[in-house]
Amino acid sequence: MTAASIAEVTPNTYPFTLTEDQEQLRDAIRKFAAREIAPHIMRWDEASEFPSAAVKQLGEMGLLGIIFPAEYGGSGMGYVDYMLAIEELSAVDGSIGIIVAAHSSLCTNHIFLAGSEEQRRKYVPRLASGEWLGAWGLTEPGSGSDASAARTMATRTGQGWLLNGTKTFITNGSHANVAVVIAVTDRSQGTHGLSAFLVEKGTPGFRPGRKENKLGLRASDTSELIFEDCVIPEENLIGKLGEGFIDAMRILDGGRISIAALSLGIARGALDASLKYVKERRQFGKAIAEFQGIQWKLADMATELDAARLLTQRAAVLKDAGQRVTRESSMAKLYASEVAVRICDEAVQLHGGYGFIKDYPAEKFYRDVKLCTIGEGTSEIQRMVIAREILKVHPSRG
């Protein structure tokens, strides 16, 4: 069984009912993934090749603007549809899933939620259609979980703003046409002194830096963004001055739903590959699927996957209802990512020696999945967020 054959596995049964439109969306994505993604997975992975043509096709299908209204060039769907799309793509190749997630729920969504109407009209249709690709820059070499340690500085000038600094681990960084960049505008105010800016490709003083050589998700571009006396016009400030971090945290509420969905997809791909393998692999005169020890592993994998999907669906449903989902999205991201790591680990174990070689998809799922417990807030940060949220509901009575 090769990596390319994973799209041929029997469709997964969802623990919740899909609408007719959602079934059509799922089926369309599965057919696309089988035809346009699966045959190229290992070549993209080995060469760290960005799948430009496939991303363009996703834009033409409306999947890069799935959560945005039609009046801005989007598909007018919701987060439940979005999580479904990310899962389906990631079940074949997590690199595609994270490219779409960073473009849609981080960059484009920041512009849509915090930008002016003029900014929305200018950028969202281009991004939603796939004409442009977006990136989102928060992390720096010295500030990951601690955003207040950011050093990228935006200084006001007569022409607008002068941007200096470096962002790192930026998905789509080398290929993006526009990036949303969080920079310090008043160091004395901590996180309340951070603001967001739109920086277009080709702006003097802005260039992508080193492209990272990664463990997994290798077809996804992860690189530095470097700013050296980069002049940003005043109208490229997104949202209010000093509220870039506040807006970024709102964006991450939705972004964590997408990482939960990415986790679900990778885990489901690993489980489906395992189910196929254990039915075919024979030892001691019978398929290893007939051994109770194997069956129990599969039962645990499937149960945890469904539980993770339901947590993710809850967050998506509440997000579609316009509710604040900080707690729910963090729970979904935390649980789904850690479950996905366990499932992919078991998938390698079930494949035995074949799980350790590139002729079978288990090893790639295993490499790809670990990022899910790190990106858009580590598991440790998610636990801090969840604890803070539940303590608000149950304050101390000293």
- Would you kindly state where each structural domain of the chain is located, as residue ranges? 20-133, 136-242, 245-391
pLDDT of residue 5: 46
What is the C-alpha end-to-end distance of the chain, expressed in Å?
61
Q: Which CATH architecture has domain 136-242?
A: Beta Barrel (2.40)
pLDDT of residue 18: 86
Buried b (16+ CB within 10 A) or exposed e, 351-380: beeebeeeebbbbbbbbbbbbbbebbbebe
pLDDT of residue 12: 53
Domains 136-242 and 245-391 share a fold: no
Look at residue 344 and give its three-state secondary structure: helix
> Percentages helix, strand, coil for the chain, rounded to the nearest 5?
60, 15, 25
CA pair distance 188, 135, nearest whole angstrom: 27
CA pair distance 91, 94, nearest whole angstrom: 7
Tell me which residue has tokens 């006001």. Answer: 156
Contact status, residue 237 vs residue 197, Cβ threshold 8 Å: yes
pLDDT of residue 76: 96
CATH class of 20-133: mainly alpha
pLDDT of residue 396: 62
Judge: domain 245-391, CATH 1.20.140.10.
Answer: yes
CA pair distance 29, 33, nearest whole angstrom: 6
Look at residue 92 and give its three-state secondary structure: coil
pLDDT of residue 145: 83
How many CA atoms lie within 13 Å of 291's alpha carbon, on the beta-carbon side? 13
What positions carry a catalytic annotation?
376
Element (H, E) at 73: none
From the first residue on, what is the mean pLDDT of each consecutive set of 10 residues in the chain (398 residues)?
Answer: 44 72 95 97 97 97 97 96 97 98 98 98 98 97 84 93 97 98 94 96 97 98 98 96 95 96 98 98 97 98 97 97 97 98 98 97 98 96 96 72
